[in-house]
Structures are given as C-alpha cells and as structure tokens.
C-alpha cells in the first residue's frame, strides 16, 4: 500500500516539468532528495510589478519537511530544465488537515516570498541634497543584504529630485517614491521596480531592476485560442481626467487642463498626492497624469491562458516563463484594437498548467500612492487539489511551529 501511494505521487511529479529545490543558509542544498521534494503538489507562483518574484507555494506531506526547521532551509528555487522559474525566501510552513480525519494525518503548505520581501522588511534614513533617482535607489538598496550590489539594471531614473529625505522609512516605500517621480522626459515616463533572480548579477544574488513602461514594441503574441473562457475589452470614462492638480508638501500646483477633453467629456478633476517634493517635480507628475488620462483608453480585462503564447517571431514560448513587465498583442484583435498590452502580474499553476495575466497601464499606481501586491486573479482559477491522506504521511506533530518571519506590509 505504501509503495502504491508513493508511485502515484511520483507519477504526478513526472508529469510536472518543474522541479523544486531547497537550500540552507550556507547555500547548500538540503539533504531531502529532490525526487522526494518533488512529490509536492499544488505548485504555483506569482510575479508582479512592483515586486518581481512575489510568492510561491506548494503542498507536501508533513513527514517530508519535518527536519527543515533544524536544517534552517532558507531558499526555494523552481526550475524547468536549466531555466530558473522562481527564487525566494522560505517563510511559512503551515499545517493543515482535511476533516473528517480520525488518524490526524495531514499536509504542509510551504510558502516562499521573492527577495523583494527583503526590500519591504528593511528601513532607511537619509538626506539627499541633489541626487537623481538611480543614485537614491542604489543607496537604499545598500540596506538590503539579500539583494545584489550589482546595480547595472537600476537605470533610467535620471531626474534630479532636489532636497529630499526619509526617516525610518521602508526601503520599498523610498523606492516607490523615487520611481513615481519618473525621469526627465516631458512628461515623465512611468517606471516600476522589481527584484528578480541573480543569473545576470556579478555576485549571483537576486538583482534589482528598473522597468520602463514602453509599449512601442512587444515580446509575445497571445492567440485567442490560448485564452481560457472569455475576453473582454471595455471603453469607459471612469479613468478620464482633464483638470489635474498636485499637492506637494502643504502646497498645491496650479491646474493642468485639456480643453478638448473637457469639451468632449466634461470637466473631470483629479488631485495627485506628490509628497514632499519641489514644485517642478510635482508639476511633472501632474502633467504626466493629464497626458495619459485626458482621453478614453480601451481596457483589456485580465485573462487566463490554457496554452502557451508565441514569441514575436512565432515560436512557442512556455507559459511558465512569462513574467510581469513583458508585453503582448492579440493578433486576431489588432485590426480592431491595434494595442500593445503591458503585463502587470502573472499567476502560474503547475497542476492545471494555466497562467493568469493581469493587464497594467502607465498611471495606475499614481493614485493612491500605496505599494500593494497586484491582484492577479482574472476570475475563477483552478480548484485546489484535494487528496485523501496517504499512509506514508506522519500524524500531526505536537510541537509548536515557529512564527513566520515578520514583514512589513
């Protein structure tokens, strides 16, 4: 009976291409053989901007990870062949039991967070008299020991922010402020910050990267046949704004207006919270918002893929490789809506082999000025896999599991 259950789980592992590996604090792979670890099921992970890798979770039998607390398992990596799909910090080991269950046998849900969590957990205090955005972000990342000191991908934010300071502020909030100010373009362009894998960094640590919102070209094609369910494109006045002011410190800018938009749609007001910045920076944020909000935009609803998209050249691009920050078109719709879409976040599920995609647009994060993990659920997702308890799962342990590492939200 034991061998039968084990074989069934191993068969599931064979069907799933992705492999999970775990490493202790010294960087050594923990002694649990990968074949056993990959009896995990319910494996899924998310990406999003801001953030990069967000979180990854999977279920395993209780007995499999009984010794992880002793081994100080620290890093989780998900692989597809030689490609690294996700890397993050092990944070939660949650037990659960499906009832009724007289034997008390259960499973453990393992959750890891991408290394952006180190940016959220660390704080910064500093005064900057006349620094550009790139310099400030590189400085504050120095407080994040789990993030690479290779800042070659922190580029594009060349706006001089003048006198600005932060006191005991989460590093993620400092970066949010700097990224929101944009660059020196007129109006400023829109950017996001993420922490990804360290495959390109000089020290091998997860690397920070600035992403510019640029839909002048695309990376992927998503045929209608790859989309599960329905697809919706809305055209609404909800986000139109043509009379925009910005508050900076206790002061307010004059309004930036668009007469044509006001004639077509009526006067629509927006007040931006620019923070403690100078007048020029507040005016730049105001002008950018007006530029991108003065007309009606077609909005694509979030979608879920049941098969892989294609590259621009037409080759298959495995859906588990799709990340936030990539851009796509829907070829069959380009005659009606010649638009390139920006991916704000993704949610990949290995059991159902489906990918949720949330669509982003260039001004969505300016109001309100909060850092949140995007909601990337484009509708009813796959139902969780519920299995009967297997004989090789240990009874519920009696000792208390340590509390998860505290983190800022």
Among 279-283, 315-319, 364-368, 384-388, top mean pLDDT goes to 315-319
Average pLDDT on 28-48 reads 76
171 φ/ψ angles, rounded to the nearest 5 degrees = -55, -35
Question: Minimal CA–CA distance to 73: which of 117, 40, 32?
Answer: 32
pLDDT at residue number 15: 58
Q: What is the pLDDT of residue 368?
A: 30
Q: What is the pLDDT of residues 166-199, one digit of tens each?
A: 999 999 999 998 998 889 888 888 899 999 998 9
Mean of the pLDDT values across residues 78-87? 94
Q: What does the pLDDT average to over 296-300?
A: 80
User: Looking at residue 74, what is its pLDDT?
Assistant: 82
Considering only 39-53, 129-143, 392-406, which range has the smallest mean pLDDT? 392-406
Indicate the pLDDT class of residue 261, thresholds 50, 70 and 90: very high
Domain boundaries, the chain: 2-118, 121-213, 237-295
Whole-number percent of the chain with pLDDT over 70:
76
The span from the first CA to the last CA of the chain, in angstroms, equals 46
Residue 182 has a pLDDT of 87
Cβ neighbours, 10 Å, residue 181: 24
pLDDT of 346 over the 60 cut: yes
pLDDT tens for 6-28 read: 334 334 444 578 988 888 888 88
pLDDT tens, residue by residue, 241-252: 999 999 998 999
Closest by Cα among 85, 75, 34, 45 to 345: 45
Whether the per-residue pLDDT at 217 is higher than 60: the answer is yes
What residues pair up with 256 in beta bridges, in sequence order?
244
With contact defined as beta carbons under 8 Å apart, do 125 and 167 qualify? yes
Say if CB 333 and CB 388 are below 8 A apart.
no
């Amino acid at each position: 009976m034991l061998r039968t259950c084990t074989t069934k789980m191993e068969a599931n592992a064979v069907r799933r291409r992705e492999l999970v590996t775990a490493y202790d604090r010294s960087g050594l792979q923990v002694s649990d053989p990968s074949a056993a670890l990959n009896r995990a099921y319910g494996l899924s992970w998310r990406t999003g901007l801001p953030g990069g890798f967000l979180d990854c979770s999977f279920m395993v039998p209780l007995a499999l990870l009984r010794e992880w607390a002793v081994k100080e398992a620290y890093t989780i990596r998900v692989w597809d062949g030689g490609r690294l799909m996700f890397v993050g910090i092990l944070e939660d080991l949650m037990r659960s039991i499906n009832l009724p269950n007289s034997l008390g046998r259960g499973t453990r849900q393992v959750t890891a967070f991408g290394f952006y969590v180190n940016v959220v957990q660390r704080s910064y205090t500093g005064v900057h008299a006349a620094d550009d955005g790139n310099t400030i972000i590189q400085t504050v990342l120095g407080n994040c020991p789990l993030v690479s000191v290779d800042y070659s991908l922190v580029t594009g934010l060349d706006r001089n922010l003048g006198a600005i300071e932060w006191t005991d502020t989460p590093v993620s909030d400092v970066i949010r402020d700097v990224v929101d100010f944009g660059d020196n373009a007129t109006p400023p362009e829109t950017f996001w910050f993420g922490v990804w894998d360290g495959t390109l960094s000089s020290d091998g640590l997860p690397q920070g990267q600035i992403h510019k919102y640029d839909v002048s070209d695309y990376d992927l094609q998503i045929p209608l046949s790859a989309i599960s369910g329905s697809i919706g494109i809305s055209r609404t006045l909800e986000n139109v704004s043509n009379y925009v002011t910005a508050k900076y410190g206790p002061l307010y800018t004059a309004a930036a207006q668009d007469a044509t938009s006001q004639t077509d749609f009526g006067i629509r007001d927006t007040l931006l919270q620019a923070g403690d910045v100078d007048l020029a920076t507040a005016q730049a944020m105001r002008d950018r918002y007006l530029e991108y909000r003065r007309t009606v935009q077609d909005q694509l609803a979030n979608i879920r893929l049941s098969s892989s998209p294609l590259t621009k050249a037409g080759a298959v691009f495995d859906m588990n490789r799709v990340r936030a920050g990539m851009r796509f078109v829907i070829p069959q719709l380009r005659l009606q809506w010649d638009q390139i879409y920006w991916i704000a976040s993704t949610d990949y599920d290995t059991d159902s082999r489906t990918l949720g995609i949330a669509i982003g647009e260039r001004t969505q994060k300016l109001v309100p000025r909060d850092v949140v993990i995007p909601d990337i659920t484009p509708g009813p997702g796959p139902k969780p896999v519920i299995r009967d308890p297997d004989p090789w799962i240990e009874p519920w342990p009696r000792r208390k599991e340590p509390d998860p590492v505290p983190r800022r939200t």
